[in-house]
Structure 1
Amino acid sequence: MERIELVKSIEANAERILEDFTEILQYLRSEGSDRCDEVQNLLFATRRMVDLIDSALEIYHYLIRLKYLTADTQRSETAESRDRDKMLEEMFRELNSNLGV
């Protein structure tokens, strides 16, 4: 996945977390007419809590991937700059040897 796709996935999961949190509050706030309705609301709230935790873990996963994607890019850039530095040093050595310095 590219960086943009990872950021979009993180944003989508953050929105899902907010939706789940809102629904959890609605389930916990509503009062059932009997004990069965209250248990059912608690069950639905628990399911939403699991979804919320799952979304949070997905965001963590995407952030880790984004971190290593960025680190790989930086590492390859530093490797390329080292290669360029070595090439430049070799060119100067050749030039110095040709000039007799």
Structure 2
Amino acid sequence: MEQFNWGRIFKIFFFAILVLLGSGMILMSHFNKIKLQEEKRDYKTKIYETRKENEALSKEKIELQKEDSETTKKELRKEGFVKEGEKIIKFSK
């Protein structure tokens, strides 16, 4: 009967374990890259959505300011004043 060559068996198992660990590390780095790309895409979409919301809010704010300025002009006219630029001038009826 032949005796087992334990040194050779140990080397085979050792290198097999190293290969498995190396391939596992490669797969982990690959999945980590994919995860980072997804997070980056989600972050960009969040920025885009926030920008759109800010634009809508600024448009709404401008419309409200226009309405306020029109109502103040109407109120001033009722009281006998005219607003020209930044100055308010009283006129006689």
Give the structure-2-normalised TM-score: 0.64
Structure 1 segments of 4+ aligned residues over 6 angstroms from their partners: none
The match for 2:10 among 7, 25, 38 is 38
Residues of 1 paired with 2:61 and 2:10: CA distance? Answer: 76
Aligned partner letter, 1:84: A
Residues of 2 paired with 1:38 and 1:68: CA distance? Answer: 45
Map 1:1-101 → 2, pairs under 5 A: 33-34=4-5, 35-99=7-71, 100=73
The number of aligned residues is 69
Aligned partner letter, 1:52: G
Give the gaps of 5 or more residues in structure 1.
1-32
Higher Rg of the two aligned structures:
2
Give the structure-1-normalised TM-score: 0.59
Task: Let me know the Cα RMSD of the aligned residues.
Answer: 1.7
Structure with the largest fraction of helix: 1
Give the gaps of 5 or more residues in structure 2.
76-93
